[in-house]
Amino acid sequence: MFLSQIVKELRLNRLTDFQGAEKTVGGVYVADLISLVMANAKQNDVWLTHQGHQNIVALASLLQLSCVVIGGGMPCQEETIRKANEEKIFLFGSTLPIYELAGRLYICGLQPSAYAKMD
């Protein structure tokens, strides 16, 4: 699935203004803890989070994620948007709850990229 399809389907608000190339999306990872995302998210994932600080851009760049979606109407810092533009990281916002965003992505056919292992 292409990122443009997800943006249209979820009616995401684009926060970055650079003109990047179309991206392929491989899966979805949902978490707010940076350490969990670092350990479990996969390249080309959509990352759903409530976080709006600069660390999300650094991690998205490091993991080569397709984009970051800040859900639940949470604010995004101006410095984060500036950094995302510089790093060419697609950053989106949505007023929809993370739970609903994840559900809609699942209905679109995207699978979670990792599951927590319960012992």
CA distances from 119 to 37, 81, 94, 116 (A): 20, 39, 34, 10
> What is the average pLDDT across 35-42?
94
Q: Which of 87, 66, 88 is nearest to 12 (CA)?
A: 66
**Residue ranges making up the domain that contains 65:** 3-21+41-107
- The pLDDT tens digits for 54-78 are 999 999 999 999 999 999 999 999 9
Report pTM.
0.92
Q: With cut-offs at 50, 70 and 90, classify the pLDDT of residue 118.
A: very low
CATH number for the domain harbouring residue 64: 3.40.1390.20
Number of structural domains (the chain) is 1
